[in-house]
Amino acid sequence: MTLAIAELMAGGPPSPEAIDRFLTSHSFPLVEGPSVTFVYRGQADAVNLKHMVYGLPSMQPFRRLEGTDLWHLVLELPERSRVEYKLEVVANGTGMWIEDPLNPHRSRDPFGTNSVAHGAGYAVPEWTLEDPDARRGTLREAVIPSAALGRDAHVTLYLPARLRPTRRYPLLVVHDGGDYLHYASIQTVLDNLIHRLEMAETVVALSHPVERLAEYPNNPDHARFMAEELVPWLESELPLQGTPEGRCLMGASFGAVASLSTAWRYPGMFGRLLLQSGSFAFTDIGRSERGPAFEPVVRFVNEFRSRPAAVSERLFVSCGVYESLIYENRSLVPLLQSTGMEVRYVEARDGHNWENWRDRLRDGLSWLLPGPLWMIYE
């Protein structure tokens, strides 16, 4: 296959009019089989692609078409890849990071906005988009006084649309609940999966940390809050099942560490765990190079590895193959399985970001908290 950028260059430096036609007749990044062409047009000393794909240099230089102001870079991306990135435009010795002006796809996270490249075969899952036929659940704010944390804890409650006080519902507790709401569309996902009967009608408690890097890495105060304060309060206030199989704890990154370490401190209390891109750093020799924030994580994971034990019944674990944490997650899965816990592990061609975690919610939630559809057919 001759790439479109090669055809543009075939007759020598293209005219400004030919570049205009090239830009208006394609969408960018331009996906042609496994090749993805990134393009930038403008005066600059250099243009670089900046990304976080583990295994590739984090900076990929563009090439300028001689005699023009058009810059380009061709990367090979496996099918169904999804890559978040920015462009660095260098002028007069100063580099400025910008979103790709030719790419309409954006993702958001607590640090800002990134452009997103979709490899061949990737599409935003339709079940993450609002369905007018799906009844919307209700969000309600709650404040729980916490002796364990030494402060009032803010929790957002998701109540399914057909909540009835005479029934009993499973409970899903979500670390970083505000981020899952804002960046992973979790309310829409819950509405859709419940509407389609793929997931049980579930009450969801979306927690909001104050200092997550202190609260989440195997902190006994946080675990005590979850197990001895938050869950008992929820089960006293709402029509919940109150059984291990009716309690699921989930989180991403450090939130996954908090989920596993809480279950480890309270074995058998949470019968379901959903762990996304867990920051499960460990060492076999020497010190971890991941920095001080990971030190309590390393101590916890090393201890868990030395004494693996069943802490739950069913675990869903996912990780992106473009994350630096893929090695740690792949290493942890067989250890979890060795304890007799039922473990399902999924990888995706994606990175450490909220839309990766959004795209895995259907697999995880419908397996851990199945609705009538899967109860019948699976």
State pLDDT tens for residues 281-290: 999 999 998 9
Provide the pLDDT confidence category of residue 12 given band limits of 50, 70 and 90.
confident
Return the percentage of the chain with pLDDT > 70, whole number.
99
DSSP state, residue 136:
P
What gap in Å lies between CA 92 and CA 157, rounded to an integer?
51
State pLDDT tens for residues 55-113: 899 999 999 999 999 999 999 999 999 999 999 999 999 999 999 999 999 999 999 99
Provide the pLDDT confidence category of residue 1 given band limits of 50, 70 and 90.
confident
Q: Is residue 374 over pLDDT 80?
A: no
* Confidence at residue 376, expressed as pLDDT on a 0 to 100 scale: 53
* Confidence at residue 282, expressed as pLDDT on a 0 to 100 scale: 96
Q: Measuring CA to CA, which residue among 126, 168, 189, 108 is closest to residue 353? A: 108
84, 109, 147, 154, 246 from 176: Cα distances, Å: 21, 12, 20, 11, 21
Q: Is residue 378 over pLDDT 60?
A: no
* Confidence at residue 47, expressed as pLDDT on a 0 to 100 scale: 98
Q: Measuring CA to CA, which residue among 111, 99, 95 is closest to residue 40? A: 99
State pLDDT tens for residues 287-333: 998 999 999 999 999 999 999 999 999 999 999 999 999 999 999 99
**pTM recorded for the entire structure:** 0.94
What gap in Å lies between CA 64 and CA 23, rounded to an integer?
15
